[in-house]
Each structure stands twice: as C-alpha cells, then as structure tokens.
Structure 1
Amino acid sequence: MPKYLLRLLCFTMILGALPVIVIGSVSYSIASRDIEQKVRESNLQILHQTQMRVEQVLRSLQLSSIQYVNSPLVLQAMKKPLDSSEFQEIRDLTSGFNNLQAVTNIDQAYLVNLDQDWVVSMRSFGKLDDFSIRDRIGSYLTYTNSLFWVTQNDHLSTESLPASAGIAEDSQEQMPTLISSDDVVSMVFKIPMVPTNNSPKGFLVIDIADAEISTFLSQNPNTGDMYVLDRDQNFFLNENGQEEKYAALNEEIQAKVETSNQAEGFFNAEVEGNQVAVSYRKSPLNGWLYVSVVSLGQITAQSQKIALVTGVATLVMLCVTGLFAIYGSRRMYSPISRLLQFTKGLDSPVLQTGRRQDEFIYIEERLSTLFSSEKSLREQMKGQHVHLEEFFMTKLLTGKISEEDFRYQGERYDFPADWSSLGVLTLQIDTLEGTRYEEQDRDLLLFAVNNMVGELLPAELRFTPVMIDDAQVTVLASRLNDELQLKEWMHTQAEWIRERVVTYLNLPVSIGISRSYFAIGDTPRAYQESREALQGRVSLGSRIILHYEDIQPRGQTEAALYTQLRMIEDQLASALKQGDEEKTDMYFTQYLGLLADKKLHFSEYPVIMVQLLSRVYQLVQEQGGDVAEVLGEKASMAQLLKLSTLDEMTNWFRKRLFVPVIRFWREQEESQYMNIARRMIRLIEERYDRELSLEACAEELNFHPVYLSRVFKKEAGVNFTEYLAEYRMEKAKTWLQTTNLKISEIAEKLNYTNPTAFIRTFRKITGTTPGKYREQQR
C-alpha cells in the first residue's frame, strides 16, 4: 500500500475513533471517582456509627462507675481497713460490681485501697500483695488524669484466692478461683476523683474483654478491615495479622492526624502492594483511632460494567469508521496517484529507493532537483560577489588598484556610478574598558559595525564597507561639488553612524574623515588622512568625529615645556621611590595638566609618554629589578603605542606602571631595612664587651647615624642604646647564674668602667640589683 494512502487511512480512523475513546475514558473516570467517593463517605459514616456504639457503652459504663465510686458505701469503705470478718460489707461492695454488668459484660473489676492495703474484686478479697494486679497498680500511679483507659496490660495472669482473706471454707466454695483474661481494656478511676498532685488513696479498675468491644465493630465485608488503635497507636483488639500488615499505614495515619489537627479523614495508600482507601476517626473520649481499610479494587468493582459497555461501543465505532475510512481514502488518493505517475516521467537524477517514501516527499524531491543546480549556483555567486567586493575595496584603499584597473574591474560590482566627489570615513573603537565587552570581542564588534554601516547608508551613497586592521572604512560618494557643503554632508553621515553604534551596541567609537577628492586614484591618500585624523584623539579625547583639516600641526613645541616636564618627572620619580601614592598621583596630574595647557599636537604625545615610560623603567632597574618581571607584559612600550586616547594612556600609566613600581620599591626598602637591622644586631652580639655606639655602627656599615637609628627602631621596636643595654644585661644574668664572678668583674667584662653604673642599669632593666638577683636564682 502506498505510504501516503496508509497515512490518510490511519488519520481518518483516528479522527473517527478518538472522540469515542476520549468520551468513554472520561465517563469511566468520572463514574469511578464518584463511586469511590460515595464508598468513602459510606465507610466514614459506618466508622462514625461504630465509634458512637462503642463510646455509648463506654460512657454508660463510666457514669455507672462514677456513681459506684461516689456511693456512700465505697466512700466509707475507703476510709477504714477491711478484713474477712466484715463479710457483709465486702458482699455489698461486690454487688456494686454486678450492677455494672447491666451496662456491658465486664471481665473483672477491682476496688483497691492503697492506704489500708486491701483489694475487693468481683470474686475475691485480700491484701494487695496477694493479687497479681499489684504490678498494674504501680504503673497506674504514673498517670495524671483521674479517669483513664489502659489497653496494654502486660502482667495479667491467673489470680487465686488469697490465703490472707481468712474466709470460711464454705465461703471459699462460693467464691471460685478468679481467672482474668490477658486481652482486656481497663478503665481506671483514681479515688478520690479530684485531680491532685498527691498519690491517690485507691483505684477502681474495670476490665472489659477485647472480644466484648470487638462485637461493636462492623462486620460488613463491604467496609473492609476495621480496627481500633489506642492513644499510643497500638492494636489492642487482637486482630491477628493486622498489626504487622498495617504498621506503616498506622504511622501515616498518625502523621496526618498530627499535621491536620482534624478528628476524621480519608486518603489512598498502598498496603502490601495493593491500593487501598483508608478512613479514620479519632475519639475525643479516650483518644482511640477507629480505622477502616478497603481495597480500591473492591470499591471500583461496580465501575467495571461501565468499562465493558464503553469498550464494546468503541469497538463498534472503530469498525464502522474503518469501513468509511477505506472508501474515502481511496477516493481522495486518486489525484495524488496521477501526479505521482507524472513526476516519474521527469528527466531528473535517480533517487534512492531503498525504503518506501511518502508520495509528496517523492514529488517534492523530483521537482526540487530541476531547480537545485541553478539555485545553488546563484547562491554561490552571490556569496562570492560580496567577498570579491570587499577584497577589491581593500586593495583600492591600500593602493594596489590603479584608476585603469578600477574602471576595468569595477564595472562588475554594484558601485555608485554617478558621483562628483568622494571621501573616506575610518571608524575605530575608542576603548572596551567600562563596557560589557572584553578585548577578544573587538574583531566581532568591528564586524557588527561594518554590517551596520552597510545597512544604514544607501548603496548609491557608498562603496562596499570593509574592515582593515583595527578599523572599519567606508568610501562615500556624493554629487556635491562645494567643499564646505561636502564636508558638512560627510560629517552628518559620520554622526549618524556613530549615534547608531552607540544606540545599538553601547560602544564608544570615533570617526576620522579625510579631505574630499575627485579622482579614484587618490583613495589611498584619503584613507591615510582619515587614519591620521583619528590620532587627534590623543589630545582631544574620545567619542569624537575629526576632520583631517582640523588636526594640522601648529608649530614646534617650546623648549621650556620639556624643561618643566623634566622637573615634574623628577618629582614623580621621587614620590615613586618614597612609595607615596598621593604625591605620585598629584605630580602625574600636574604632568598631564601641563600637556593639556600647551595643546600639543597628537604626534608629540607618543614621544613624551615614551620618555616618561623610560624614566619609570630606570627606577625599576636602579633597585636591581627586572622590568619584565616587575611590570609584566602589559606594561611594555608596544602596549603604550597601541593606546589611542589620552584617557587610555592615563589609566595605563596609573594601573600598569605606578602601582607595581610603588609596591616593588616598598618591598625592596623593607628588605633593605631588615638586612641593615640584622647587621647592626650582629655587631652588638660581637662587640657588646667593647665600646660600641650608633656612630661606630654607621662608620662600619657606611650609613648615616640618623638613618640607622630610624631603620633600627622600625625593625627592632626599640632604639639602638636600649637594645645594647638589654643584651648586656642578659649576658650579666647568665654569668650571675652560672659563674662566681664578682659584680665588678662582670661590669668590667661588659665594658662598664664604673660598677655603680652597671648596677644602676641592671636594676633599671630587671627591677632588682645584681646581688639580689644572684641570691634569688641560687
């Protein structure tokens, strides 16, 4: 079957079947959700009814128990001791237990008197220690409420009749052995029931079997598994297998109860790989959680009929749609088949037939091959034509094309023909500092500017714009003959270009304009004039448009200017040596101000700046530094000559020269200071026992005494005399500790002619006399 015919057939079938499938799917989805919601609400209602049944019984039991605890019989009994001789009173107390049976079946009941140490149960009486309940009573003391429920009783066991009861044998026969179940829920009353920080006098404990409470839970299979968790989220109704099965689910329920602070809710979860719907309610009576877990498969079982009906209807519609699709598709495909047969007869290259192609693609490829060769040739010629124009203009601007060559070769290019005069505009980027661009973007930016010029200026007003080195060059053509009008017109064009570049690229540029000329052979000269005009930025600043006529030399520079510049250079060099950044900046500002006042020609700036650069190099070499290592490659003379504006030169000197030189001089000076201080300390260590003064050190080291004093004080922290005295006293301490030399002998060894002067100096530095110091150290 043809490929397009197959696609048409498939599309028709999909178009007919898709609405049925979508409607059926949506209907089934809505019905399933509605059924699920109804089942959830029904389960939650059943859960609520179950809770109400359980709590009704528990509340009735609570009320009956409260009446029993507050009865005069119990209140009187709690105030006195009981023994087996008070048989009638014990009978009355147990009769109250039997009355509680009218509410619900009670497994066991205890009345415990802690102060009098007796226990009355439904079938026995005795001391507290004789009952197994004594272990439970100890745990009940930790509860703070007067009434509470306990679901986990770990120490329930068979309880026999206590021997201490002392009841007659006949009575023992009437009171059978008490057996308490392990699976009970205990309702505990503290006696008295008023909350207090003191220990209670006794307890009323009523045990209800878990099986009794389980009878109130719903046994309807449609409600799924129903169970109850106590306040600590533990199973206590002995549902075998449910505790481990729903452990993770119970943790999730507890988290939802704590986070939502709502007493009821429902959600979907996964239990042992099965999707289930969970409903829960929290009891305000005792904090129990009533939980119902129903399989989602059970909930959605009723929606399977809808799915079956939808599937059958969809299948029928697919069959009907298929029949119509086959018939309609063949009728629609017939004109395409005729067009396909026509294209096969065209004289075109043989196409690949390794795989089945769509008919329209095949027809398109057949037709495209008829025109591809011509189109490809035209595109190639068009692209080469642009490059040839640029190459031709580059040769024209650099003087490699004569007028005869231009007339011969220029006819093939779309250059302006009807012109009277020409002019050259050369555009350069002033600086990339302070812009969002980096230096490596310069060529790309020039390319963008070149394209902008080609779009801004009409083809009849300019030759093809080109890029030469670091500039963009455009030759303008005009019909004007008046030089003033022509100059104004070229300035207007240059201003228009500069404004557009600033607007679109936010790029600072300047433009140089040559003088007007009338012969195409003068184009190289005009190009050089436009570049020379741009050099005027050195004295006039950046972001400007300069005409060649406006930058002609005004005469020779005065000799006095160089003398003044030399004086400022000397002051600047002195400030650099001192490491004074403020003075350096001040003298450099004076230097630049003097150049600005004299209004030098731009050609003189490089000479003067090179002279200043050489002076800075000399400062580095005077300190024994290598210029390349101290300043780096970016501070070379070649980099200086590349700068085109005075602002660039100023920033370059301050950043690349002055800052590194000041840092280098400071490092060298600090190193020299440390060397001098170390040599002076070495002299003290060698000549402390001889006459030694600052002047003697200056003569030894070939420095002025004042300079040595300043250097030593800066590096050592004390002056020379103090350091010498302290060093001599340290020697004296050592001799006083390790030798038996007399004080006068030590003074003589330290070059003190008078022992009194030595003692006075020693006491001034150490705070004690030499004699006392020797006594203290021995």
Structure 2
Amino acid sequence: MRNHSYLRKLIIFGCILCTLPVIFFGLFSYFQASTEIQKQVNRGQMQLLTQMNSNVEQTLRTVNHALNQVVNSSVMNKVLSEPFSSSDFMLYKDLRKEMSGTQSTYTKVEDVVIVNFNQNWMIKNSGFYRFDEYLHHSQISNQLLLPSTTSWVLNPSIWFYSEEKANSSSCPYTISLVKKLPDQSLDKIALAYANIPTCSLAELLNYSPRESETVMILDDQERILFHTDASMIGKYATNTGFIKTDTELEKPKGQFQAELDGQLYTASYIRSSYNNWVYLSIISIDSLTQESKKIGRYTIWVCLIIVAVFVVIAWLGSRQMYSPIQRLMMQIGGRNLQNGSEPVNEFDIIGDRLQDLFRSKTELEQEAQRHLQQARSYFMIKMFQGTLRRSDLLEKLEQFGFGEKMNEWKVLSVITLQIDTLEHTRYQKEDTELLLFAINNIIEEIIPAEVRLQPLFIDQTQVTLIGGKSDDLPEFNSFIYAITESVQQTVDQVLGLRISIGISLPFTDPKNASIAYKEGLEALKHRIHLGGGVIIRYANINAGQHHLHLDYPFLTESELFDAIRLAEESKARDLLKKLMHVVFEHHMSPQEYQVPMFRLLNNLLLAMQESGIALNQLHTDGSSLYEELNKLPIAAEIEEWFWSRIIKPVIGIYEDRQNSEYQNISEKIIDKIHKFYDTELTIEQCASELHYNANYLSGVFRKETNMTFSEYLTSYRFSMAKKWLISSDMTIKDIAEKLQYMNSQNFIRSFRKLEGMTPGQYRETYRKMN
C-alpha cells in the first residue's frame, strides 16, 4: 500500500476497522448463542427429568401406600396366621376385596399377588392356586432372598400370567413392588406383589420425546425399566451403547457426552432418592445445533448488512476526514503534483512543506532573538538614561530575565569604556561601531554572566552593569578593578587599542543606574589631564559622593499632571510636595534651582494650553508668572506659590468640568426614573442606554444626589403611591403591582416602615382631614 494515496489507505483501513469487529462479534455471538442454547436445553432436560421423577415417584408411593394397607389389614393377618384354603369362600372374598382396592387406573397396578410359602397357596387376579403347582413357583420363591423387606423389582410378565392370557402377555416385563410378610416379623413366610406393566410407564411420564431423543428409566441394578424403544426394556444400560462404564451414573445428577455410531449425544440424568432409579435423557447434539444454525444464518445476514453499512460510513467518513488534508494540499499548492499515473503521497508533500516551514520558523526565531536582544538593549539604554518609572523598571527587569540576578546582588556598579583614539592604529573612524561590538564580545567572555547584565554601547561608550552578592564594599571594589584591568589588557592584546574605563560609585537601588552611568561618563572626562589608557574611579574625583547634577523628576511631574486632570486635590498636593523635595534635596546654587522650577512652570502652562485653559482664568493681574516665581527666595514659599497660584485653580476648573458632566448624567438618570418608575428599572439598564460603566454611573449619581439609585427609585415610587392613595380609588394590590412589588404585603410593610402607618390608614387619614 505504499503507492496508494492516503484517501485510499484511509478507506481500506476504515473498511477493515469496521469489518473485523463485526465478524469477530458475529462469531462470538454465534458461539455464545449456541453454547447458551445447549445450556438452556440441558437445563430444560434436567427440569423434565425432575418432573418425570416426580410423576413416577408419586404413583409408586401411592402404590406402596395402598399395598401397605392390604398387608396390614386384619384379613391379611388372618390368612397368614390361620389355615386358609379354597373352601374358605368368605375369607377369600374379603381378601380379594382388599386386593382389588389397590388396583386403579391412576396407579396402573394390573395385578396384586399374595404368596404364602408355609401354607403353599397363591392368590392373584385369576384366582386361587396351590403354589407348588404354579408354573413359575421356583422363580417367585427366589425373591424371598431379596435384601430388603420392600423392593421394586423388574420381573418378566410371564411369571404372573393368567389362564386366559397364558404365554401371550402384551407387556413382556412387569415392575413389581415386592413386600416380605409378615411385616412385623423377622421370619418371612409370604410375599405380596403389586405389579405394574412397564408399558404403563409412558403414561406416567406424560412426555413425548423429541426427534433424536432417547428417554430411559433404569432401576438400581441399571436395568432398563423404560426405553423409547420398547425392545430394550429388561436389558442393562451398557447394552444401549450410550453408557460405556458403570461409573458414569454414580452422582445424584449430572450430564455427560456420549458417542454412538460416530454421532455425538449429550446425556442428562437424575437419580431418585426414593428407590435409586435413574431417569436419563439422551439427545443428539446435531438436533440441538439446528437452532444455532438458524441463528448463524441470521447472524451472517445481519453481519453482512452491518458491514455494508459501515463500509459506506467508512467511505463517507474517510472522504470527510480527508477533506482537511485535501484543503491543506490545495493551500500548500500540492494538488497538481501527481506525476503521470504514479499516486501522490500527500504526507511526503506536506512533510516537505513543513520542513520549509520549520526552516522559516528557525529563521524567524533567530530574527526574534535578534529583536529580543535589541529590545533588551533598548530597555537598558532607557534604564541608564533614567527615563523609566521604578515600577516599570522592576517589571522590565523581571520580563527580560534579570530579576533573579538583581535579587541576589547586594551591591551594583556601572563601568563605562571608551576608545581613547584611533590615530596611529590600523583602524579608521568608520570602524568605531565594529570595534565597540568586538569589545562587547570581549567583555561577555571575560566577565562571568552571573555578575553582569548584558553589555551594550551608548553614544560611542561601552556600558556594563556589574553586581556582587556580597555587601563587602572593599572586596567588591577590588573585584571591579581587577575585571577592568583584565578587559583593558585583553583589548590591547587582541585589538591593539588603548581604552579608558570609568567606574561609578557602588549603589544598591537599580533606579540609580542612570546616576551611576553619568558618574562613569564624568570620570572619563578627567582623561583631559590624566591622559589615555587609564581606569578612573568616580570616588577618586568626587570625594566619594554621588553625582551632583540634578536628575529632574519627570515621572513625579507626570503623576502630578495626571492628578490635576482628575481633580484629585489631596493626591496633587502630595505629589507637588514630593517633587519639591526631590529638587531641593540637592545642594545647588540659587541660579541652578531656577532651572527645574522654570521647567515645572513651563510644563504646567503647556498642559493648561493643551486643555484649553486660558491664563486669565487663573485671575492674574497682568504680571508675569515667571517674574513672580523668580522673586520667591524660600523653598516653602515656592511650593505654596505653585499650589495656590496655579495648581489649585486649575484643579478647580477641571472639577467644575466634571461636576457639569455629573449633573448632566444625574439629570438623565432622574428623568428615566420619572418616566419608567413602574417598570423593572435598574442602574445597569440606565448605564447600558447612556453608554457608561454601571459602577461609574452609580458613583456619579450618589455624589450628585446623596442617594443611591435604588433609594431614589424607591422614594419616587412611594411619592407616586401617596398620590394614587389620595387622588384615586386604586386598590392597594393594584398600586403594589404597578410599583413592581412581588405582593401587596411587601408593599404594606415598606409603606408602614416609611410612613408609620399602612397605605389604607394613610388614605383614610387624608380623606378625614379633607
């Protein structure tokens, strides 16, 4: 299947996947059904045998009971204990009467025979006989040797012939209930027989064997008492061919398989606990499997139909599942790639296209990595230039993977490196950036990554931030100096360049990286009198103090302007105080302080102009604000002047604008309440219609009315309720429903809580007053 298209493979696989389970479950269900049928038949046979046993035993017990009555009767005792002859007509008549009571259609007893060996007589249906003159007296005499006093014995019917049917018995064997008499004496002198023809057993069984079924009843000697084939009666069970050994019928009940003439049979038997007879049913396995074969035919047809349905489903499903691959092939331009009659391997084509995509992905990842490096470099440039807020700085450090290092470092320092000159070297001026890039690589190799951030160059200066895990400053300073010496020597050896390095003062706050960068640049300026190829510590040129030039707090200024625009007066006052503190904490001359103050004033005026606020709105008398500021000598006065002269009036203007907007919003909400108070009106619905956030709208309404939306709505509804109670005949229930109460009781409770009386009392009180 290597040369087949994927669609064909999918269809074939789907057909196989559908067909094999159906065939498997079909065969499984067929064999299960066959086995279950056989089990059901076997169970049914056991039930039938139990029923046969019950029917026959019930009759045999009845015969036994009837014969017991005869042998225990007074007449029987008399004829056994006293001389009895054919001339004792009355006694014979009474005895015959007792004997005839045993015979009935139900019990199938054909003859009752009494034999007295001591008195040498025998009585049966056909009359009174001298026993020694009876034809079969010797055979009958031998039965006095039976081991039990009561026995069921299979005897030839000829033993009990009658004269009118002599030697022509219709049933060759008789089942005799033999009792030794007297019953209570150890010395047995007589026998009593109740004879049932074996031909009568069929009626007692009341069962018609099925085709190929053989039913047998065996006595305790395993002689056949009943057989479907009457010619087998009287023979032993082993003569049937079904039973090979005597041990097969040892258990109280059971089943086994037998083979006769090459055909298999299943046999079920049950042994009677009453007289140890065996009831046996033997049936051909082929006849049992007729139903199984019919089920098999049905199963084949059902499986064929299911297979056909699933093949169609597999074909349709395969085409449906193939459609994404087909669309993918069309999208990647592989639908017309079939060469001649050779089938197309779609996945080879898709694999080739994916390889192209992976190559493109690798290129994009490399490009993204370059962009990431550029983003890191841009972030660090902004960090060294001091244009990031503290929160943004810390967030970016984490984002770019520097957070763990910064958390571990206890002390930081910035080194700045510049090339002294390119004169008398093999390089040209245009090689400067390439040389800085090479120096960057040298620094990356010399300085371990765990003690530095990414090195970069800014305006012809290579800058690296280095950190230490120990707060031992002498040790850290020695480490920094050793690193810079190694860098300087390596650059000289590899590139043949003289460089100078500036080292900032140690610091701990990452926000101070911009100050440290300026300190490094300031240290490098001292090459004017120190010459090139030097390593200069800022600590050696500024008595160990940090950079004195003012770092203008433009971030605080930006936050101040935001607070002014939002009319947040207290926040604006705090930010102004913070900005003034940052400016005036530096020790500068009065002229130097003017620069940040004029800058702040200029930025405030620009912000006012952008917001459409004119200078005359600040209530100026025509004098110059710059001149007013220049006349102020004390920092506290300057802060107060900014606040009272500019910032607070501007906040007032912004606040008036907001109040005007709030009032307009509140009026619209109130108008909606007055119009739709009798509906399920909510603040969310008003917010949706007015295109505002629900929380914002709720805050504005509360600020303007000193009431929540629900409080105002409830108040207005109660005012309307009072009006209707006074001026109309509306029922309390109607008023409650109109005002959106779930039931009138809730309305009454709320009205009583508000007015101190029920709505009905309010209406009655008002009418009495009028």
TM-score (norm 2): 0.37
Q: Greater Rg, structure 1 or structure 2?
A: 2
TM-score (norm 1): 0.37
